Structure 1
Amino acid sequence: MLRFIKREPSAVLLGVQLAGVLIYPFLEGDGVSRAVFSAFGVVVLALVVLAVRASPTWTWFALMLGVPATILLIIQAVMNSDALFPYSAALEAVLYFYATYGLIRYMLADHEITRDELFAVGATFTLVAWGFAYVFVVWQAIEPGSFTAAVDPEADRTWMELLFLSFTTLSSTGLSDVVPIDPFARALVMIEQLVGVAYIAVVVSRLVALTVPRAQ
């Protein structure tokens, strides 16, 4: 298992993140759920750092972001409080975007497409979605009421709601019932829309162009 994780970190990261999409809805509520949520976040952070280590970027920079974020998540689990969540979210957002940069360099470093690089296409997409969701968390903490929804519109949006908004925005499906109402929140969403279109147009199209001749 350890050899597989080291050989194909992008595949493992993608699998864990997709599992998180299914697990997160059950981790919103009591203290035990928060603790499990924090523990799962630590695992994802470790995999993100491992993915960065496999890419042509600085591992020490990822550790500089990942270690304090991990400490904050552990404190949240011990104290059974979400007060530090915006601070850990800010660190995680920067780490996820840096990991995105690293994986894109990893995918475009040569003209040979490996199996792990194909998994990196999906892992990079989920990293961007997670990163913007954490940005939304931070901005909601700074400016409460920046996002509303059809259900309980006056309440702060949960992590799962903001992650749902991020995925629907990045994929340009537009199916989210969570919407930004603050001007700067709308600006953040527009930037994510642009990033989603650019990722499909530049990265995915190039990898497809390299994969087709190899298959022929």
Structure 2
Amino acid sequence: MNTAAWSRIARRHPSAFLLAVQLLSLMVYPLFDGLPGGRLVFGAFGATALVLAVWVVNRSPAVNWVAWSLAIPALLCAVSAAVFRNQALLVTASLLEALLYFYAAGALILYMMNDNRVTADELFAAGATFTLLAWGFAYLFVVCQVWYPGSFSGAVEPERARTWLELLFLSFTNLAAVGLGDVLPLRSEARVLVMLEQFAGVGYVAVVVSRLIGLTILRQGRDS
């Protein structure tokens, strides 16, 4: 495909690009996990996701400058934390990224709820919103683990701090309510975050996803 074709797809389906980057980072991360430059590679995917998160906010009724005011310092802190391995910068970056991902998720929900017509981009937005929520809570888990040591335990080396991928795995399984996982919240602060994510996951499926499915079925009934 030429550049013009990719540009048209990007304008019509920005949510698809955000979803693709999020899922691609999941597949790439195990290849670099444990390597010296692994954090920088994953940080590059994170930076791309931050920019795309702002991009999809621009397509929604949300205010764009709020997203940029979160994305720019989050990006700077994330890069600095990866380069200098600074714990304080890591916490700051995680907080800002969590806020940005939640804001972008809210913006996409407004975008999907704004009318009664379901487009292809809105279906991609449904998937992207799920990943944004999962990433946002995973970053909150990172902050919780730093502020309250011993917040999480696991089946493997239960006394050590959980890795980023373990916390992201916990976030995905918790948000999807699949009941899987070898990472457990132990402290009350961690358990409150987990319960909030469970509530968000159930609410998202009950309100947003079910609405998109219902509107799609109604449209197919009219067209038939």
TM, length-normalised to structure 1: 0.96
Q: Which of residues 138, 150, 154 is equivalent to 1:145?
A: 150
* Equivalence map 1:76-155=2 (5 Å): 76-79=81-84, 81-83=85-87, 84-155=89-160
The letter for the 2-side match of 1:102 is A
The residue aligned with 2:193 is 188
Instruction: Kindly tell me the number of residue pairs found equivalent between the two proteins.
Output: 215
CA RMSD of aligned residues (A): 1.2
Cα offset, 1:82, TM superposition? 5.0
CA contact (8 A) 1:180 1:186 kept: yes
1:150-195 Cα distance to aligned partner (Å, 9 max, x none): 0011111011000000000011111010000001101110111111
The residue aligned with 1:5 is 10
Partner of 1:148: helix, strand, or coil? strand
The residue aligned with 2:172 is 167
The letter for the 1-side match of 2:197 is E
- Unpaired segments of 5 or more residues in structure 2? 1-5
Distance in 1 separating the partners of 2:124 and 2:172 = 18
Q: Percent identity?
A: 53
TM, length-normalised to structure 2: 0.92
The letter for the 2-side match of 1:114 is T
The residue aligned with 1:45 is 50
Partner of 2:153: helix, strand, or coil? strand
Instruction: Tell me if 1:20 matches 2:20.
Output: no
Q: Which of residues 36, 39, 52 is equivalent to 1:31?
A: 36
The letter for the 2-side match of 1:32 is G
* Equivalence map 1:189-208=2 (5 Å): 189-208=194-213
Cα offset, 1:215, TM superposition? 1.2
CA contact (8 A) 1:39 1:73 kept: no
- Unpaired segments of 5 or more residues in structure 1? none
Q: Which moved more, 1:181-190 or 1:68-77?
A: 68-77
Q: Which moved more, 1:49-58 or 1:4-13?
A: 4-13
